[in-house]
Amino acid sequence: MVSKALEEYLKTMYVLKKQNGKIRVTDIAEKMNCTKPSVNKAINNLKENGLLNYESYGAIELTEEGENLAKKVLEAYDIVYVFLKEVLNLEEEDAKKEAEKVKSAISDKTANQLAKYVHKELGLSNLDCDYDIGKEKCRCCVRRTLTK
């Protein structure tokens, strides 16, 4: 099990890979507003946990397990963000900032319950389908409905 801080690094790496097609220490440091040595320490910890592959000055690649955890962390953020923005009507920037804080403090069980509530409130779908934040089910439904 990795810390919430390492989960944030993992999420950032996943997003950078999707946006740029590659993950670089410099980009991670810039996006997370931290130093390169901090990023390197996180990379080594994530590597030790089997969540990424990396050789000094080489490509950073998420393992399947690392990618799955990154998706889970990103989905938890999305659920909290949607709740704050769409249910509580917070301004977008405030919802983003608060979602970062809240999602790192809640358990998977709480995130699952929040997801069910958000989906029910917004009429997105029936989540009595054994919704589990550890899987990617329903993530696309949230985004599709909110962008219409």
Q: Which residues pair with 52 in a beta bridge?
A: 62
Q: What is the pLDDT of residues 57-73, one digit of tens each?
A: 888 999 999 999 998 88
Query: Model's pTM, two decimal places?
Result: 0.73
SS3 52: strand
Angular region, 33: left φ>0, alpha ψ -120 to 50, beta rest: left
Least confident window among 51-65, 67-81, 129-143: 129-143
pLDDT at 142 over 70: no
Find the length of the chain. Answer: 148
Residue 126 clears pLDDT 50, i.e. is over it? no
pLDDT tier at 51 (50, 70, 90 boundaries)? very high
Return the pLDDT at 9: 94
Share of the chain above pLDDT 70, in %: 82
- Mean pLDDT across 88-115: 88
Give all domains of the chain, ordered by start, each with its CATH number: 4-62 (1.10.10.10), 70-147 (no CATH)
| pLDDT score of 129 | 45
- Is residue 96 scored above 50 in pLDDT? yes
Tell me what pLDDT residue 56 has.
81
Alpha-carbon distance of 127 to 117, in angstroms, equals 9
Higher pLDDT, 74 or 50: 50
More confident residue, 14 or 108: 14
- Report phi then psi at 75, rounded to 5: -65, -40
